[in-house]
Amino acid sequence: MRKKLGIIGGMGPEATSFFYQEIIAHTVAERDQDHLDMVILNHSSMPDRTKAILSGDHKEILEALIKDARDLEYMGAAHIAVPCNTSHYFLDQVQKEVGIPILHMVRKSAEYAAKEMMPGGKVGILGTEGTIQSGIYHRECRMAGIEPVTVPEDLQAGITSLIYEDVKGGRTPDGRKLENALSYLREKGCEKVILACTELSVFQKKEGTSQVCLDAMDVLVREAILASGAEYR
């Protein structure tokens, strides 16, 4: 039985559009009626996730996320996907306020990475400053039996610039910012590198990245399709 998928989007808008396209592209379907029913809330005015984490002021963003989740539940969604890694810092609290499950992209990405690695192996994490400093990937990776590794401040600044100035800002992305970070993580012995930001997902689909990368959005696309009762391709 097919189940309606709810999506809290707008973080950012291009990543949400890309997530929707990927759901369509990877759903086994021969006609319109074979695709998933979805409700997308493109909440572009959502408060900045990194700013909320770093400042410690969570009230406004929690209220917004909880309202969106409740709205999706009211509109008949059976479960919720949130194509924004940084927002997952708040989702355990949001989950307590709704009666339908929220698919946990961070947790599932850590589990996927662990399946492709040796136990205790090193996995690189590339994302926003908020995602990195929140420790959400560190926690989930260690629970999955692998050791997270992040990049130093100068390389993190390049990743932050790629996310905010290039992809979110609509500029031509400078791929060297990502490649420099990947080179560092490979030198540190990382077997896999999780692209823990949906803007990095957008970039890698357009430009291509190393085979070492595991895209968290790819994981969420697969989990969302399967949870909705469709077949993934």
CA distances from 213 to 7, 87, 94, 145, 150 (A): 25, 21, 29, 18, 14
Active site residue 190: no
CA proximity to 89, closest of 56, 122, 125: 56
For residue 76, what are its two tokens?
């008949």
CA proximity to 84, closest of 148, 13, 151, 134: 13
Q: Exposed, middle or buried by CB within 10 Å (0-12, 13-18, 19+), for 140?
A: buried
For residue 228, what are its two tokens?
């909705």
Residues in Cβ contact with 114 at an 8 Å cutoff, skipping those fewer than 6 apart: 141, 144, 145, 146
Tell me which of 84, 141, 190, 213 is the catalytic residue: 84
CA–CA distance, 153 with 206 (Å, rounded to integer): 26
Tell me which of 141, 190, 197, 213 is the catalytic residue: 197
Helix axes 198-207 and 216-227, enclosed angle (nearest 10): 100
Q: How many of the other CB atoms lie within 10 Å of CB of 59?
A: 9
Active site residue 141: no
Going by the DSSP 8-state scheme, the letter that residue 85 receives in this structure is S
Residues annotated as part of the active site: 84, 197
